[in-house]
Amino acid sequence: MANSKYAYVRNFELPDPLLPGCFLVCRLDGHAFHRFSDEHGFTKPNDERALELMEHAAKDLMSEYNDIVLAFGESDEFSFLLRKSTHLYNRRHAKILTTVTSYFTSCYVFHWPEYFPGKPLRYPPSFDGRIVQYPDEQAIRDYFAWRQADTHINNLYNTVFWALIQQGGKTTAEAHATLTGTVSSQKNEMLFQRFKINYNETSARFRKGSVVVREVATQDATDANPMPPQPPAVQAETSRPSPKARKGDKTKMAIQVLHCDVIGDEFWKARPHLLAG
Amino acid sequence: MANSKYAYVRNFELPDPLLPGCFLVCRLDGHAFHRFSDEHGFTKPNDERALELMEHAAKDLMSEYNDIVLAFGESDEFSFLLRKSTHLYNRRHAKILTTVTSYFTSCYVFHWPEYFPGKPLRYPPSFDGRIVQYPDEQAIRDYFAWRQADTHINNLYNTVFWALIQQGGKTTAEAHATLTGTVSSQKNEMLFQRFKINYNETSARFRKGSVVVREVATQDATDANPMPPQPPAVQAETSRPSPKARKGDKTKMAIQVLHCDVIGDEFWKARPHLLAG
Amino acid sequence: MANSKYAYVRNFELPDPLLPGCFLVCRLDGHAFHRFSDEHGFTKPNDERALELMEHAAKDLMSEYNDIVLAFGESDEFSFLLRKSTHLYNRRHAKILTTVTSYFTSCYVFHWPEYFPGKPLRYPPSFDGRIVQYPDEQAIRDYFAWRQADTHINNLYNTVFWALIQQGGKTTAEAHATLTGTVSSQKNEMLFQRFKINYNETSARFRKGSVVVREVATQDATDANPMPPQPPAVQAETSRPSPKARKGDKTKMAIQVLHCDVIGDEFWKARPHLLAG
Amino acid sequence: MANSKYAYVRNFELPDPLLPGCFLVCRLDGHAFHRFSDEHGFTKPNDERALELMEHAAKDLMSEYNDIVLAFGESDEFSFLLRKSTHLYNRRHAKILTTVTSYFTSCYVFHWPEYFPGKPLRYPPSFDGRIVQYPDEQAIRDYFAWRQADTHINNLYNTVFWALIQQGGKTTAEAHATLTGTVSSQKNEMLFQRFKINYNETSARFRKGSVVVREVATQDATDANPMPPQPPAVQAETSRPSPKARKGDKTKMAIQVLHCDVIGDEFWKARPHLLAG
């Protein structure tokens, strides 16, 4: 072959296997999304369309990769849990990481017009990603608890912050100053007293983030859906089961988006397969 | 903070710095592009629009990242050279790798309609990526020689293969059988004798691949190439200089796509900065 | 400082932390010990003095490093288990690996004259080492089962092999040929029929390898083992408690060498701290 | 095999190749040698026997490993340069690192009685080690310059410090205080004025450290150094050529210890093979 004398350069490609027996968490973060959300007029403090687009991309990714058993998203970030025994791409680090990051990005751009009709992308958005290895179930539980606690903290702050600005007529500097040093109960009180907002009645999508799992599909997707009557915390939307999932399973499984608590035991006890070997 | 008890999970995020003083090559490959090109009706053996779209994404990436000093593409792959002294993201492996992969993917999807008007994407395409560290200039020279030799081998084969099918009425099996065991000179001869195709007169984009560099911008794209007199094979297109590039440099630099030889010395001698420290 | 202009070379020293929450196993292997045992006249198939010297070095290492909770040795290799929560040297890979390897080597050479009086070392012996990360208890159980099963297989083979030579007058080639294709029961039978050797009555040190643990020290070494009534295979020797261990613990702990089974549950159930967090 | 069901634990042993085309520097450091030198009554500020023992271990290591082309030592540390094209143990990181560390340690303990007759080791000394990859010649030059500059700084300080104590009757606290804030010229002056010591006439072993190289062996060790006319600082000792080295080379090469400058060009120009490919 004409290129055989150069082929030695492949020797510089070193193996990069991830450790067997570990759970893998791949977390994606929007790159410079502060500017991106400004340029594209995202609603503050939360843009429902933008969050739904993130969820759509996450569901597409899980349809493509059965070894992703759980995802959690908030704002411009999404975390994906690969089951600990996954053999995806022989557990090659860069291969898994780039494929997940690239496909998620592609889905985000691909589906943009469905969520922002009439508002074309002004420039290509991107995400960075990392894979973290976790050796045991407790660390996984704590990882998702960490992200959901973060969601709560950020969303409560942002909800009051933007109420102060949008309804209270404050500048951003004033809003910041008002909130400095306040604890959760004070923020809740401020919301209720000044703006008649009961934080716990705001959208669970904003308060709890987006939990994506494969669940047994129900006949009536509307029942599963967030709007009433619902179990207070849990709100689910049904997506079409992926061809792969359908083929492999007897019961009809579908990728669902929930806005439920993942800090307590209930979520995990009801889904023992998430942490199984 | 409500999430502080979980924050220990960040300790599992290990540092992943790349070695200082090495050139970095990031190579992206289309994921399942055999199927993708079929589904989207790519012209065989080469689809000019698809190649131009790849080039566009590569140019966008180089506009965004000044430390990428050279790129080379063929078919559904593109390689990017980061200068050896780059401090991009403190040389963090996953950060550089995912940002490059994600932004390239995003640009590909974003610009698709410009190159395939009236033929919307049927599903989101994706790319995988890897970073390879090279300690010296010779290995970098050989890396790009390796890719361009590969371009030549593949393109010559594909050109005859598809001529046998499209003009010669062969089946794919027959075309394969006809080519088995032939050397380059025989393929050239076959092209000329049977199909009146002079291989050396086919598009340099197909034969040489796409070389992307920052050059001094000129009015006349043909002059942009610093190696006069131009060999006919070299075809350059001028893109608009990026705001960043404009800001940092005194002379107007622009990202150019060339279809020139990168195996010999000439290309590198004319651009000593590519391999500089 | 006169050396500050060169200090940048430290930037090439990259961090190498091991993953938190994993058990660490450090396995050392004698380097070219086939020749070493020949040159120093080791008894075949097992040299008790050489094994005791290995055990001595292992005990010294465990006296020095409290985070090593268990060791297992056979022939010229020894494996050390570090508890999963160890913070030894901030879990830096090379630091832990080289310190363990170096100190074990040093102890081996240092104590040589005690086990081989009148037979000075002819040249310096050495060991190579590696650290393997294991995410869960089952893998650790299986790791030590793997080594002990290996001990059994090798020792049974070697016992018959050398009986055939030493008592049976065979050449090594003949002995190999005699054993080719035989299973364990046939080897046991051969030992008993031809050489009146009941394999199960041979030294447990040879059959089971050497298990090193910290136990409550007692006057009577036989009592030291917490699994009454003692299976005859278990042989324990008490070493002096290290100053460090004495300082840190209320009860007097001592590092003990056992020759007991580590494949079944009993050993591990009696010592739950070995696999604790 | 009885152990085949456990053999999966080997899957946790991940590959760890070092990057091709890089120089490798392996640096060993004495572990807790402050205490070790006290316990063994090392002469202050430098113990010639201890340094010669270090040199002996380094020479033994280089006799064993032809791919180590250069070593530099000072105090209780030694750095070894492996040529950049080395294929030693397929460039496996842990294998190279532990073998070098273990063998050096073993040689140190093995040869101890030759340098400290009548003063047996009180406990086993040990070393830690690390391997650093360097992509180019300049970084290697600067690495060894860094170590030699460090030797100079430390030795000048220690020389005055111990003169103040041993000849000047100061306490260590007073000696420290006297030296705080002084620059090199002041220390030189202090040595000369108070103690009649001309620093440049003290032993080159102390001032320059120990440089170990393979050179053409000659009858007269003074001639061994290829840089005529010899500056008085350079002191060379010839060791017996290793059997391996003799076998591979036509001219008789021997491992030599020099105490010469490695910061300037002369040393490297005279030995171009050290940095060759």
D232 burial via Cβ count (<10 Å: 0-12, 13-18, 19+): exposed
Interface test with B, best of A5, A84, A102, A148 (most B CBs within 10 A): A102
- Six-digit token string for D184: 């090199």
Looking at residue A4, its pLDDT comes to 86
Dihedral (C-alpha) C134, C155, C127, C23: value to the nearest 10 degrees?
Answer: 10
User: What value does the mean pLDDT take over residues D209-233?
Assistant: 58
Give ipTM to 2 decimals: 0.89
pLDDT of B123: 98
D56, part of any domain: yes
- Say what the pLDDT of residue A251 is: 64
Q: Can you give the pLDDT at residue A115?
A: 98
Binary contact (C136, A21; C-beta < 8 A): yes
Distance from CA of A76 to the nearest CA of B (A): 14
Q: Give the whole-angstrom CA distance, residue C55 versus residue D95.
A: 23
Alpha helices in chain B (DSSP H): 33-39, 48-64, 93-115, 137-166, 172-179, 184-195, 204-208, 243-248, 266-269
| Minimum Cα–Cα distance from C138: chain A residue | A21
D20: nearest CB among A12, A15, A19: A12
> CB C21 to CB B12 under 8 A?
yes
Indicate the residue of D14, D20, D21 with minimum beta-carbon distance to A19: D14
- Judge whether C29 is annotated as a binding position: yes
Q: C175: which 2 tokens?
A: 């002995």
| Residue C18 distance to chain B (closest CA, Å) | 8
Angstroms from A61 CA to nearest CA on chain C: 27
- Residue holding tokens 């050390």? C80
CA distances from B100 to A31, B77, B213, B243, D164 (A): 11, 13, 17, 19, 60
**In chain B, what residues touch A139 (CB-CB under 8 Å)?**
9, 12
Number of Cβ within a 10 Å radius of residue D248: 10
Nearest-by-CA chain A residue for B94: A130
Alpha-helical (H) ranges within B116-269 are 137-166, 172-179, 184-195, 204-208, 243-248, 266-269
Is D32 annotated as contributing to ligand binding? yes
pLDDT category, C132, cuts 50, 70, 90? very high
* Smallest Cα distance from D121 to chain C, Å: 8
Residue B236's pLDDT is 45
Of residues D2, D107, D126, nearest to C153 (C-beta): D2
How close is the nearest chain C Cα to the Cα of A58, in Å? 28
The one-character DSSP state at D19 is P
C229 preceded by cis ω (within 30°)?
yes
Which pLDDT score is estimated for C235? 41
Taking residue C99's Cβ as centre, other Cβ atoms within 10 Å add up to 23
Between A251 and D158, the higher pLDDT residue: D158
Confidence of residue D218 (pLDDT cuts 50, 70, 90): low
Residue D198 lies in a domain: yes
Cβ of D128 and C95 within 8 Å?
yes
pLDDT digits (tens, 9 = 90+) for A79-100: 999 999 999 999 999 999 999 9
> Which residues in chain C have Cβ-Cβ distances shorter than 8 Å to B92?
none
Measure B277 CA to nearest chain D CA, in Å: 11
Distance CA A126, CA D148 (A): 48
State the alpha helices, DSSP H only, in chain A: 33-39, 48-64, 93-115, 137-166, 172-179, 184-195, 204-208, 221-224, 243-248, 266-269
Q: Would the CA dihedral through C83, C88, C94, C95 be positive or negative?
A: negative
Taking chain D, what is the end-to-end CA distance rounded to the nearest angstrom? Answer: 45
Kindly state the average pLDDT of the residues C264-273. 97
The answer to whether residue C204 scores a pLDDT higher than 90 is: yes
pLDDT of A234 over the 80 cut: no
CATH for D114: 3.30.70.3000
Residue A251's Cβ-count burial label (10 Å; 0-12, 13-18, 19+) is exposed
d(C-alpha A70, C-alpha A84), whole Å:
12
Decide if B238 is inside a domain: no
pLDDT tens digit sequence for C215-240? 986 544 433 334 333 333 334 444 44
B&D contacts, CB < 8 Å: 26
Domain count, chain A: 1
- Name which of A15, A20, A21 is nearest D15 (Cβ-Cβ): A15
DSSP label at residue B196 = -
Contact status, residue B156 vs residue B270, Cβ threshold 8 Å: no
Percent share of chain A, pLDDT over 70: 86
Q: Among partner residues B106, B133, B139, which is closest to A105 by beta-carbon distance?
A: B106
Q: Find tokens 């193996």 and name the residue.
A: A15
Q: What is the CA radius of gyration of chain D?
A: 21
Per-residue model confidence (pLDDT) at position A252: 73
Q: Does B21 contact chain C (CB < 8 Å)?
A: yes
Classify residue C81: in a domain, yes or no.
yes
Instruction: State the pLDDT at residue D28.
Output: 98
**Cβ of D15 and A17 within 8 Å?**
yes
Taking only residues 101 to 140 of chain D, the set having a beta carbon closer than 8 angstroms to any beta carbon of chain C reads 101-103, 105-110, 121, 123-134, 139
Separation CA A136–CA C135 (nearest Å): 7
Please list every residue in chain B whose beta carbon sits closer than 8 Å to the beta carbon of residue A22.
none
Q: Please, are residues B78 and B71 in contact by the beta-carbon 8 Å criterion?
A: yes
Mean pLDDT of all residues in D201-219? 90
> What pLDDT, on a 0 to 100 scale, did the predictor assign at position D4?
86
Q: Nearest chain B Cα to C92, which residue?
A: B14
Gap between the Cα atoms of D184 and D172, Å rounded = 19
Residue A80 lies in a domain: yes
**Rounded CA separation C68/C24 (Å):** 9
Q: Where are the alpha helices (DSSP H) in D65-136?
A: 93-115
CB-nearest partner of C133 from A19, A136, A139: A19
Residue D189 has pLDDT above 70, yes or no: yes
Cα radius of gyration (chain B): 21
pLDDT at position D208 over 60? yes
Point out the residue among D14, D20, D21 whose CB comes nearest to the CB of A17: D14
HEC assignment per residue over C64-105: HCCCEEEEEEECCEEEEEECCCCCHHHHEHHHHHHHHHHHHH
Does the pLDDT at position A230 exceed 60?
no
Domain-located, residue A226? no
pLDDT of amino acid B235: 41
State mean pLDDT over B68-92. Answer: 98
**Which of A11, A18, A87, A93 is the best residue to mutate to test the D interface, defined by the most D CB atoms within 10 Å of its own CB?**
A11
Q: What is the mean pLDDT of chain C?
A: 90
Contact D6 C145 (CB under 8 A): yes
Sequence-ordered alpha helix ranges (H) in chain C? 33-39, 48-64, 93-115, 137-166, 172-179, 184-195, 204-208, 221-224, 243-248, 266-269
CB atoms within 10 A of CB A249: 13
Q: Residue A177 has which token pair?
A: 């100053």
Would residue B108 count as lying in a domain? Answer: yes
Sign of the alpha-carbon dihedral angle for B17, B18, B21, B23: negative
**What is the separation of C-alpha A141 from the centre of its chain, rounded to a whole number of angstroms?**
15
| Pairwise CB contact (< 8 Å): B126 & A97 | no
Interval B121-145 mean pLDDT: 98
pLDDT at residue C68 is higher than 80: yes
- Per-residue pLDDT, B277: 73
What would the pLDDT profile of C148-183 be if each residue is shown by its tens digit? 999 999 999 999 999 999 999 999 999 999 999 999
Which residues of B are less than 8 Å from A13 in CB distance? 130, 132
Handedness of CA B10, B14, B18, B24 (dihedral sign): negative
| A95, two tokens | 């291969």
Q: Which domain holds residue D96?
A: 15-218+254-274
Q: What is the mean pLDDT of residues D107-116?
A: 98
Share above pLDDT 90 across residues of chain A, in percent, rounded to a whole number: 84
Max Cα–Cα distance, chain C, nearest Å: 77
Which residue of C136, C138, C140 to mutate against A (max A Cβ within 10 Å)?
C136
Residue C237 near residue C123 (C-beta atoms within 8 A): no
List CB contacts (< 8 A) between C139 and chain A. Answer: 21
Identity of the residue in C14, C20, C21 whose CB atom sits nearest the CB atom of B17: C14
Is A228 part of any domain? Answer: no
Contacts of C19 in chain B (CB under 8 A): 12, 14
Higher pLDDT, D107 or B242: D107
Average pLDDT of span D247-273: 87
**pLDDT tens figures, A107-156:** 999 999 999 999 999 999 999 999 999 999 999 999 999 999 999 999 99
Q: Give residue-wise pLDDT tens across range B185-208.
A: 999 999 999 999 999 999 999 999
CA distance A205 to B92: 33
Q: Is D33 annotated as belonging to a binding site?
A: yes
Number of residues written out for chain C = 277
Nearest to A263 by CA among A96, A151, A142: A142
pLDDT computed for residue C2 by the predictor:
58
Instruction: Count CB pairs under 8 A between chains A and B.
Output: 151
C196-208 average pLDDT score: 97
* Tally of CB atoms within 10 A around D110: 23
**Chain D residue with the nearest C-alpha to that of A20:** D12
- pLDDT score at D217: 67
